[in-house]
Homo-oligomer: A and B are copies of this chain.
């Protein structure tokens, strides 16, 4: 398929409607800080969250879930074991799964785990520029990461990861970049307040798992998830007086988002 801004806007709206209609079951193995917000974002989206993250349950559940999120924010030992179990089961069972390698590069335990998970070929990787650079480094043998890296500096790394995993890689920033190892798409929606609420990025990983669970075209699914999420953030910011009221309005905005608003606001290039 020829990728153009126009047809990616069309596929974004179609993906949104498909996710709302399907109500996908999204398994999350995520951090303790944002698990509540992430579950609420999924519920607002019309998806069904299931925070199944213990060994002995994580694997079997990954074979029945629509999509799986593995977020490395607070990876205690028992959860690390469950993450590997879930990723293997998802990979074996054909369940799309998202890896969010939070703060790798700086922190050693999760950096090693991310390398193991990367080798299981995540359907989607989502991170900021520093995390994507670190994940690329993890594959190649490790290198230093500066938390101030810009999105553009991580596009080549995202490309390499996408080619190695056969999946899609999204780099978040003021403008997001998404690639399937062929095309690179730039996404211009979003709002600074998303960075003032904990879980702004983590919950997006779960939304990407929801979209990947419903939409076959991986690149279109990622573009749609990020764009819908960020358009809701823009709407919420208009109704907010600060980060507290923004987080509340954001859940309302996700629940209330309609296809017309999404189409009118989408900035895809």
Binding site for B on A (CB under 8 A): 31-37, 39-40, 43-44, 49-54, 56-57, 60-61, 73-79, 103, 106-110, 195-199, 241-245, 247-253, 255-256
Contacts and interface: CB of A to CB of B under 8 A. Distances in A.
Most chain B CB within 10 A, of A51, A199, A250, is at: A51
18 contacts: A32-B32, A32-B51, A33-B36, A33-B51, A36-B198, A36-B199, A40-B243, A44-B196, A54-B75, A54-B76, A60-B108, A61-B106, A61-B107, A76-B78, A243-B251, A244-B248, A245-B249, A247-B248
Contacts of A250: 244
Number of copies: 3
Contact of A252 (B79, B244, B255): B244
A44 B248 contact: no
Contact of A244 (B53, B54, B249): B249
Chain A interface helix/strand/loop/mixed: helix
Given A43-B243, A253-B242, A73 B61 contact: no
Nearest to A253: B242
A36 B39 contact: no
A32 B34 CA distance: 10
Given A35-B33, A108-B57, A251 B244 contact: yes
